[in-house]
Amino acid sequence: MNVTLRGKTRQILDDMIAEGYANTKSEAIRLAILSFGDEHQVEEAMVKKKLDRINSEIRERKRKLIGTREALGVYAKHVKG
């Protein structure tokens, strides 16, 4: 696979090598992809944990669900239906 990088992405790649994070451009790209994946997996896990906590609070009646009209308040009049 051939990849052409220009501008900021090229500069970041060059910096990764110059600062010793990677020895080659291929290695730098692999590290960047892994870092991106790790970041998004952590974010996904945090979202899941929060949603699980919210669902638990709803089951335990510690959190109240409200309807659309109540959530919209004065803006509910703009909703059709």
pLDDT tens column, 16-69: 999 999 999 999 999 999 999 988 898 899 999 999 999 999 999 999 888 888
Of residues 79 and 39, the one with the higher pLDDT is 39
In a domain, 25, yes or no: yes
In a domain, 1, yes or no: no
The pLDDT of residue 81 is above 70 = no
Given this model, what pLDDT does residue 77 score?
87
Collect contacts of 28-35 with beta carbons under 8 A, ≥24 apart: 29/3
Q: Is 12 helix (H, G, I), strand (E, B) or coil?
A: helix
Q: At what angle do helices 25-59 and 7-18 cross, to 10 degrees?
A: 100
- pTM (2 d.p.): 0.54
Domain with 49, as residue range(s), is: 7-78
Amino acid at 70: E
Structural domain count of the chain: 1
In a domain, 33, yes or no: yes
Whole-angstrom CA distances from 26 to 3, 4, 13, 37 are 10, 12, 9, 17
In a domain, 2, yes or no: no
In a domain, 50, yes or no: yes
